[in-house]
Structure 1
């Protein structure tokens, strides 16, 4: 399957909590890197999700919010991934960042040019990526 989601992290379901409407999926994508996703219960059942099952987290680069490390307070975003900026590509409208979050994973974030100018994040800087759990799509083979 090919998708437009720039971030595709294969992992293993470590926990699955089923509610009457939604389900919470905790997907371990590398040692020390876990992504929380909220999907519908019907989707979890259709995907036959269970602890120990392989799955992939899909995250659109535009769903990622970036901040300098140490400059965020409390947020409602379940996923806070810290790392080092390893790539910055400035465009006319947007800037693309690559954030090394460990375990051989690089998270891609795309922010508006104005936001990038305000962030002042460059290669080598420490940053935090925030992604709300409902913005994570779960896929299985």
Structure 2
């Protein structure tokens, strides 16, 4: 499978919580990293999602917000996953920052070079990736 999104989390459906319009679907990787997606009930049925079925969670890197240090606020983003900065590739305006999560998955974020500096992001330093469940696209094998 080839997609333009940098973040493709392969795993299986760990849980599905259905509501009248939307469902919350959790995809967990082999290493134990969990990604939460909000899908319509129609999508859950069309994809044939069931607990234990193989799935991928896809998130575009510009949708990922990074946070460093101790938070002073709580955030509404359903996905708040901790990791360690493993690499930073600086461009003219933006940088691609890669975090390695506790289970071994990697998540990429595209942030401004100014944000990298302001957050004090460096390889080996802890950081948190935040993204809303509505930004996650779920796929299944065909």
TM-score normalized by structure 1? 0.94
TM-score normalized by structure 2? 0.93
Q: Distance in 1 between matches of 2:115 and 2:121?
A: 10
For the residue of structure 2 that corresponds to 1:13, the secondary structure is strand
Q: Which shifted more, 26-35 or 87-96? A: 26-35
Q: Distance in 2 between matches of 1:104 and 1:126?
A: 14
For the residue of structure 1 that corresponds to 2:109, the secondary structure is strand
Unmatched runs of 5 consecutive residues or more in structure 1: none
Runs of 4+ more than 6 Å apart = none
2:74 paired with 1:84: no
What's the Cα RMSD here? 1.3
Alignment length, in residue pairs?
141
Counterpart contact for 1:69–1:82, Cα < 8 Å = no
How far does the alpha carbon of each residue in 1:43-87 deviate from its partner, in whole angstroms, 9 at most, with x for none? 111100011111000010111110114235210011111111010
In the TM superposition, what is the alpha-carbon distance from 1:12 to its structure 2 partner?
A: 0.9
- 1:54-93 aligned within 5 A: 54-71=54-71, 73-93=73-93
- 1:20-59 aligned within 5 A: 20-59=20-59
2:114 paired with 1:117: no
Unmatched runs of 5 consecutive residues or more in structure 2: none
In the TM superposition, what is the alpha-carbon distance from 1:105 to its structure 2 partner?
A: 1.1
